[in-house]
Amino acid sequence: MKLNLFTKICQAHCIDTEEDTLSIYPDQVLVHDATGTPVFLQLEAMSVKKVKPFTVVYVDHNTLQVGFPNPDDHRYLKEMAAKLGALFSRPGNGICHQVHLENFAKPGSILFGSDSHTPTAGGLACLGLGAGGLDVATALAGEPYYLSRPTVYGIRLSGKLGPWVSAKDIILHVLGTISVKGGVGKILEYYGPGVENLSVYDRATICNMGAEAGATSSLFPSDQVSLDFLERFGRKKDFQVWEADQGSDYDDLLEIDLDKLEPMVALPHSPDNVKPVSEAVGVKLDQICIGSCTNSSFKDLAITARVLNGHSVHPRTELAVSPGSRRTLSAISQCGDLNMLIQAGARVLECACGPCNGIGQSPASGANTLRTHNRNYKGRCGTLEAFSYLCSAETAAVSALHGVITDPRTHGDMPEIAPPAQINDYPALFLKPADDPATVNIVKGPNIKPIPLGDPPAENYSGTIALKLEDDVTTDDIIPGGAKMLSLRSNVPDSVPYIFQRVAPEFASNIDSLGPAWIVIGGENYGQGSSREHAVMVPMYAGLRLVIVKSFARIHRQNLINFGVVPLTFADPLNYEQIEEGDELHIAEFPKQLMSDYVNVENVTKGINVKAVTGFSERERNLVLAGGLLNQLREKFI
Ligand code: MIC
Ligand code: SF4
C-alpha cells in the first residue's frame, strides 16, 4: 500500500488512522502568552508537577508591558515554565512559530500547540496541530489529544515560481481556490516536483496559512532543502527524510503549476478574497506591515531591505517591519540589511506578533494597510473602519516605494538573496527549567483570575436567541484580539464587556437582560480563525449555553465542548431562515436528547420545531454531559 506522509507520521506514532477519532501523544508542545495562563492555571488545578512532552512557553503575542496585567502574566508563565519543566522563550525572542521552526521542529515528529498556526512546522515535515488551551493542558498532563480523523488533500506542485512570485502567492492562490472553508477536516499535503524549488521558510509560509483555509494541518516532505535549513541553524542531527510514497493515495487532489502563478493579494476583509495583484494596482497605501508568523523570515526581510536600499519609503506610507525571530534579526544585521531598512525609513519593531493581532500599528480611520500577515478580518488590525490587504513581502516592499499597491514584477531584476551559511544561536534565547522546582515561587498578580467552570446541560432547557450571525464568523468577532484584550487573557470577568464587540457593539451592555442561558445562531464555518478558547470561556461565563449553526470550524467546536457549551448544527440549513433573534427556544429532556443523533428544538415564539444534529463522538458526548473537560479532569486528577 502506498502511504501519504500524514499516514506515515501517524503510523510512526502508533496512531490508528482507521479509527474515526485519532488518539495522539505529541512529541512537543508550544504555548504562548495569549493562551498560556489558562493552560498553566489548569495544570496547577490538576496538581501536575511536571509537563510530560518537551514544551516551550513563548512570550510573543503581547510583549507590550503597559501597566501590570501583562507583566503579571509574563512572570507567571516564566515561573510556571521553570517549575513544571518547560523551556521559556523570553519576550523579544520572536514569534513562537518562527522560533520553533528554527530551533525545535523535527521532520516526522508531532507538535501540538495552543495556537491555530501551529501547522507552520509542516514546512519541516513536522505535523503541527493547533487546539484550545484546555486540550493543550491535557496533553501536557500526559493524556492523549483526540482528533476527528481528517481526510488528506494532496496538492501537487510542478514547475518553478517566476521572479517576484513567492510562496505567499501559492497559498493565496490555494485560498482563492478552496476558500476559508475548503480545508475544514483536511490535511493539506504538498508533494511533487515543484517542492524542491521552495525553501523551508516558503514551505512554512504555505503551511501557516493553511489555517486560514480551516485545514487541520498542512505538510511538506523533508529533503535536501530541509537538511540545508537545519544545518544553517546548527541542527543537522535532527534531519530525517520523511516523504509520501510515490503514487500514494489522497482523498482529493489539486494541481498547481508554479510557472503559471503571479503575485496575488487578498482584498478586505477575508483571506480568500484573492485577486492577482495586477487587479489591485494603484490602491493608495497609508501603511505597510511586514512580519507575522507567515512572512517574517530572513528572506522576507532581506528582500524588503534590498528593494528599499538607497531609496526612502514613499511619503504617503508608513512601513513597519517585525522580524520573526532574534536569530533572523541578527542575521539581517550581519548581512547589512538591517541598516538598509533603517536608512530607508522603516520602523523596525520588536520580534513579536505585534501588528498582526492589532497590538500596535493600528491604521488611521478609513486607511488602507497592506500586510504580509495571514488574516485581514474586519477590525483585526485594531481599527474597525480600516481596509487590510494581504500579500507577499516582495509585493509589500515594492509597494512601499510607490505608496500604492504595485505589481513587484515592474521593479526590474529580483535581488539575489543568500542567507548566511550559519545563523547564530544565543544561550540567552531560552531559559531552562529550574534544577529544583521546589525552590520556584509562583506569584499570581491581581490580573490572574480563576478559569470558569461549565455546567452540565439543564434537564429542560429554555433560552433566548441573543444573536443571529452570518457565515464565517471569526473568533476575533466573538472576542477581539488587540493590546487591551490580550492583557485580559487571564481575566475572564473583565473580558465580558468585549463579547461580540466587532459584530454587535451594543451586545455586551445588554447581556444581563438575556437571562442565564442564552443562545447564538450562526451560518457556515462558525468560529473560524484563532484557537482562543476565550471566545468560548468569556461568553460561557456570561451565560452562553447553546450554539446552533450551519457548520463549525474545528477548534472552536472543540472549545465549546470543552467548556460545556452545546454545539449543534441545523439538520436542514433552511431552518436557519426560520429562527430570529429574540425567539425563545425550549428543549425538553435535554441530556437525554443529547444521547441521540438529533435534538428536537421547540421554537416557542414561532410555534415550530427544528431538528438539530449532535454529531458527537462518544468522548465528546460525555464531555458535554459533564459540563465540559474541566469538570471531567477535576474528577480524574483531584
Ligand atoms: C491569532 O493569530 O489570532 C492568535 C492570537 O495567534 C491566536 C491565538 C489566540 O487568540 O489566543 C491563534 O491564531 O490561535
Ligand atoms: Fe502571532 Fe499573528 Fe501568527 Fe497569531 S497569526 S501567532 S498573532 S503572528
| Position in ligand 2 atom list of the atom nearest CA 294 | 3
Q: Give me ligand 1 centre to Cα 34, in Å.
A: 7
Ligand nearest to the CA of 481: 1
Q: Which of 101, 117, 321 to mutate to test the pocket of ligand 2 (most atoms within 8 A of CB)?
A: 117
CA of 356 to the centre of ligand 2 (A): 6
Atom of ligand 2 nearest to the CA of 356: 2
Which pLDDT score is estimated for 290?
Answer: 98
User: Is the backbone peptide bond immediately before 556 cis, with ω within 30 degrees of 0?
Assistant: no
Q: How much distance in Å is there from the Cα of 289 to the middle of ligand 2?
A: 13
Buried residues in 354-366 as b, exposed as e (16+ CB within 10 A): bbbbbbbbbbeee
What's the 113 CA to ligand 2 centre distance in angstroms?
A: 13
- Identify the nearest ligand to the CA of 530 by its number: 1
Residues in Cβ contact with 279 at an 8 Å cutoff, skipping those fewer than 6 apart: none
Q: In terms of DSSP H, where are the helices of 162-297?
A: 167-178, 200-210, 224-232
Characterize the bridge pairing of strands 274-276 and 264-266. antiparallel
User: 477 CB under 6 A from ligand 1?
Assistant: no
Position 638 scores a pLDDT of 60
- What pLDDT score was predicted for residue 348? 98
- What is the Cα–Cα distance from 325 to 425, expressed in whole angstroms? 11
0.75 exceeded by pTM: yes
The alpha carbon of 127 and the centre of ligand 1 are apart by a number of angstroms equal to 19
Q: Is the CB of 528 under 6 A from ligand 1?
A: no
Find all residues with CB under 8 Å of 629, minimum gap 6, and list them. 134, 135, 138, 561, 562, 563, 623
- Residue 114 Cβ contacting ligand 1 at under 6 Å: no
Whether residue 117 has its Cβ less than 6 Å from ligand 1:
yes
Ligand 2: residue of 118, 290, 353 to mutate (most ligand atoms within 8 A of CB) is: 353
* Cell triple for 87: 523551556
For the chain, residues with pLDDT lower than 50 are none
